[in-house]
Amino acid sequence: MKINCSRYFSFLSILFFIVFSLTVRSTEQTIDQSQANEHYEKSLISFEEQDYRATMIHLKNTFKSQTDHLAGRILYAKVLLAHDNGAAAAVQLDYANELGADLELIRPLQAKALLFQQKFKAALALTLPGKNSTSLEVELAYLRGQAFLGLKKFAFAEESFDRALKLSPRHNLANLGKAQVFLARKQFIFAEQYTDKALQGYNVPERARMIRAKLYLIAGNADAALKQLTTAIELNPDYLAARMVKAEVLLSKGDIELAKEDIDYILDRAPKEPQTNYLSVVASSKKANPEDIEDTLSNILATLSALPDNIKQENPQYLYLAGYILYKKNRLVEASGYFTQYLSIVNDYRALVMLAEIEIIQQEFISARNLLTKANRHFPNNETILNLLASSLMNLKQYEDAQRYFIELLQIDPSNTDVVLQLANCFIAQQNYNAAIELLLKIEKAFPHMVPALLALNSSFNNNKQFNQASIRSQKLVEIAPGNAYFNFLHGKNLVNNKQFSDAKYSFNQAIILSTENIEAKIALAELLVMQGNITEAKNSLEKLLSQHPNNIAIMKSFAALHYSIEDYNNSALWLEKVLAEDKEDIDALVSLEQVYRKTGQLDKIQLKLETFLATKSSGKLHELLGGIYLVQRKYVQAIDEYERYVAVATNKGYALSVLANAQITAKDTTGAISSLKKALAWDDEVVTTHILLTKLLMASGKVEEATQQINVIRSKDKSGSIADLLEGDLLFKQKKYGEAVPFYQRALSINPSTGSVLSLYRTYKKLNELNKAEQLLKSQLDKTKPVDLKFVIALADIYQLQKQYEKATNLYHNALQSYPNSPALLNNIANNLIEQGDVKQAITFAERALAIAPSNVTILDTVAWGQMNIANYEEALTYLRKALAIDANNNSVKYHLAIVLDKQGRRKAAQHYLIQVVESPFPFKNKAQAKELLDTWLANN
């Protein structure tokens, strides 16, 4: 086929222009980012030198080149905090959080911002103890202490500072916090001791000298106070608070001219500062400056009503009669009044029962429960009272108490099928379907054609996703009443769940024949078409149905589901918004809309709807959804609050508590998660996965005895024993009893050869230095596994590297790369291996491929930086290391490499700052010995 030449060249021109434009745009972005990094480094240097004005100028240029420069936003917040501007700092920290900053880095800064705003309770909520890294736990404990100081809760403040000092005995700020507590209590000797401790070490807090000066003044030693203040000002000339105190001391000594220098310095920078202006005046002054029967009842009632009150009180039966007649005439409010008067005189269970029934009819369930509880005390084992009491408790969602009274009824009459059915319905309301099924099967065995029991079984089996069993019960219902449209519809739904589409279509059509206006069955037929891929036919069917029934919510929901199934999320959201326009409290629609907006990344749209709904009403499902949204946004305090509200209203408390526990784990609150899991097991002890998670958390927290108890419980529930063996091995491993852990891992592997059991045995062999056994284990697993398991590849390569068989490791990685060409972990490991072999440029190529796939992976950023450092490209290395540290502020490898790079640039003071953090870090780090040796060398040369 020939192509017109001019059209061809025209096409090439357009293509060239597009490619050129994209290239230029990409180049411009790269230049902007490079300029932003350059300005940022300048701002950091100025910040390190406490030149905040210059820092702000460089940051302004940074943001001009790259508005979303993460490290820059964090530095901006630090500058603002240095100027006590907590409100503005909070804005920058929220922005940094949206950009993905490491929460361990910004959480303490957020707490400081709150403290500066004197929002002490909010700061406390943000600094609650949990399973954090030791360094973060130390800083949070210190900040928590400061919040308690602000609230004048000195005992709690002291406890918090003691916590920090227990974790880090040389924590100067915590020592200073203790001094503040003793100062507030006027225990000056202790205050002096802790202030002196704060004045020792690498990093002396600025305020330590200020507090020591105040203590000297209390002791009457003005000269020693001036010496501390002068030193503080020499280190930071803009330490205005120190200048202010110094000016006061000088004035008291009569050194007016010297005092005037500090006063003028402060007023030059803060002209409206009231206290300083007052000092200025002092200085100046020193210088001088809510039918028949019917007729009969009505007549009796009229007579009773005409009786004087004193007669009714003397003859309380009149009150009972009036109440009874009004009750029969359904004049419940008036009946309630007479019964209440009667019961104040006579203890009659008949009146109690009728009054309770009135309360239940009026949905005053709390009042009914209180009346019936009193009646049960006076008239125990009364079946009517017990039944009503259990019913009122069910309506209050107090299912455990309701179950207790249903069981009492069954002890009186074990053959009472109605009570058994109510008890089963109570379990269903709790979402405890297994317990409900157990009871309902007994009823079914005694009464095979009891419709309520079959309906309850159908519901329970469906919720348990036992669709075949549900289908058997709905088939029975159809056989009992073949002319019942609803039963045919239910059977059709069960057949759909069993993927018996042709039989389901027949059942839905039968339901429509029996009830021509059966909209649900017509919708179900349309949804069946969607499942079979007949989208156009399904749309036509729903459009026809909607034209016959405009604004029908069920039809609109079906339209939304149709669009969702074909990934047309915008139209799905549109239909759901139409549903909510008809009924803004449609919980199912809100749940579906959350799923849609999660797909489109527009959770903010559903967040507002959920918050608006939950502001006036409570819904367990919606609390769970909103908690999940907050979790995605890393708003952990709000997320936990929502999950706790979910637990408060949830019917299945055990499940809700396990959801809360998982959220607490995400928020690094291990103590809270352990507590929630224990509560979950108190509600339902049969959930093995909950036991497993609790065991792992107990192990991580060093609670060996409790973990052992949980493993024994799991062993009693897990018939194979493999789960318990794996956990037993983990517990021994954590206690460094590696040899004792091996047989447990081996047995777990022989019962269930899972990836977890293989890797657990590998890491144990590694600890025992039995590298050949680890190699044989992993090679045998790789031979069995198709496709290749990447975890096994990485583990085996690790063994090869320990054996110094670098070529084998490289070959293994390259072979795996054919199956996993875009695995960041694999590419990064290849890069590290190549660096060790000295092929740095090739290593950087692989590391950059990994970074393109996972641009925020700290380990990969560190690898790229280390590669760049090895070829003396320090500026590039610095850029990657800064980004890595902004994401993971406690990464010792990043800090170590950053210190080396900074030193190479002649910035030893900044480098030393990071090296000190590495050396004093409680976290294990393979190069810590080298880091300490290097630090000692630097300090010796200072």
Per-residue pLDDT reduced to its tens digit, 518-550: 889 999 999 999 998 899 999 999 999 999 998
Q: Is 908 helix (H, G, I), strand (E, B) or coil?
A: helix
Q: What's the pLDDT band for 32 if we cut at 50, 70, 90?
A: low
pLDDT at 67 over 70: yes
With contact defined as beta carbons under 8 Å apart, do 182 and 191 qualify? yes
pLDDT confidence of residue 2: 41
Residues contacting 61, CB < 8 A, separation 6+: 35, 39
Q: Give dist(CA 495, CA 515) in Å, integer.
A: 20
pLDDT confidence of residue 444: 86
Which two three-digit tokens encode residue 903? 């030193």
pLDDT at 11 over 90: no
How large is the average pLDDT for residues 666-678?
92
Q: Give dist(CA 810, CA 797) in Å, integer.
A: 8
pLDDT confidence of residue 272: 53
Which two three-digit tokens encode residue 27? 């180049």
Residues contacting 533, CB < 8 A, separation 6+: none
pLDDT confidence of residue 1: 37
pLDDT in tens, 869-885: 999 999 999 999 999 99
Mean pLDDT estimate for the chain: 85
| Cα→Cα distances 873→305, 854, 864, Å | 101, 22, 11
pLDDT at 642 over 90: yes
Peptide bond into 237 cis (omega under 30): no
How large is the average pLDDT for residues 368-382?
82
Lowest mean per-residue pLDDT among 119-133, 340-354, 460-474, 814-828: 340-354
Residue type for position 174? A
- Residue environment code for 331-370, b if the CB has 16+ CB neighbours within 10 A, otherwise e: ebebbbebbebbbeeeebbebbbbbbbbbbeeebbebbbe
pLDDT confidence of residue 297: 55
Considering only CA atoms, which of 737, 671, 734 is closest in space to residue 702? 734
pLDDT at 33 over 90: no
Q: Is 130 helix (H, G, I), strand (E, B) or coil?
A: coil
Q: Give dist(CA 122, CA 125) in Å, integer.
A: 5
pLDDT at 229 over 50: yes
Q: Give dist(CA 259, CA 267) in Å, integer.
A: 12
Positive or negative, the Cα torsion across 628, 629, 630, 633? positive
Q: What's the pLDDT band for 696 if we cut at 50, 70, 90?
A: very high
Q: Give dist(CA 290, CA 272) in Å, integer.
A: 56
With contact defined as beta carbons under 8 Å apart, do 837 and 806 qualify? yes
pLDDT at 290 over 60: no
pLDDT confidence of residue 183: 84
Most confident of 176-185, 373-382, 672-681: 672-681
Q: What's the pLDDT band for 300 if we cut at 50, 70, 90?
A: low
pLDDT at 814 over 60: yes
Residues contacting 670, CB < 8 A, separation 6+: 130, 131, 664, 697, 700, 701
Query: Three-state secondary structure along 170-234?
Result: CCHHHHHHHHHHHHHCCCHHHHHHHHHHHCCCCCCCHHHHHHHHHHHHHCCCHHHHHHHHHHHHH
Which ranges of 752-823 would DSSP assign to H, the alpha helix?
A: 755-767, 771-784, 790-802, 806-819
Phi, then psi, of 263 in degrees rounded to 5: -65, -45
How large is the average pLDDT for residues 39-60?
87
Q: Give dist(CA 672, CA 803) in Å, integer.
A: 43
pLDDT at 98 over 50: yes
Considering only CA atoms, which of 265, 263, 203 is closest in space to residue 235? 203
Considering only CA atoms, which of 844, 896, 786, 788 is closest in space to residue 830? 844
Q: What is the DSSP letter of 271?
A: T
Neighbour count for residue 434 (Cβ, 10 Å): 11
End-to-end CA, the chain = 79
Q: Give dist(CA 251, CA 260) in Å, integer.
A: 9
Query: Three-state secondary structure along 740-759?
Result: HHHHHHHHHHHHCCCHHHHH
pLDDT in tens, 556-610: 999 999 999 999 999 999 999 999 999 888 999 999 999 999 898 888 889 998 9
pLDDT at 427 over 90: no
CA atoms within 13 A on the CB side of 151: 18
Domain ranges of the chain: 1-117
Q: Give dist(CA 189, CA 736) in Å, integer.
A: 45
Residues in the chain: 942
Q: In the block, which residue shows the tokens 């809270």? A: 672
Q: Give dist(CA 681, CA 678) in Å, integer.
A: 5
With contact defined as beta carbons under 8 Å apart, do 157 and 149 qualify? yes
Which two three-digit tokens encode residue 390? 């259990």
How large is the average pLDDT for residues 752-758?
87
- Residue environment code for 493-521, b if the CB has 16+ CB neighbours within 10 A, otherwise e: bbbbbeebeeebbebbebbbebbeebbbb
Which two three-digit tokens encode residue 457? 């079984």
pLDDT confidence of residue 19: 42
Lowest mean per-residue pLDDT among 127-131, 152-156, 632-636: 127-131
pLDDT confidence of residue 303: 65
How large is the average pLDDT for residues 142-159?
90
pLDDT in tens, 792-801: 999 999 999 8
pLDDT at 516 over 50: yes
With contact defined as beta carbons under 8 Å apart, do 676 and 658 qualify? yes
Neighbour count for residue 400 (Cβ, 10 Å): 11
How large is the average pLDDT for residues 766-770?
92
pLDDT confidence of residue 24: 45
How large is the average pLDDT for residues 326-352?
80
User: Percent of the chain having pLDDT more than 70?
Assistant: 91
| Torsion of Cα atoms, 157 then 77 then 229 then 170, to 10° | 50
> What's the farthest any 2 CA atoms get from each other in the chain?
116
The CATH class given to the 1-117 domain equals mainly alpha
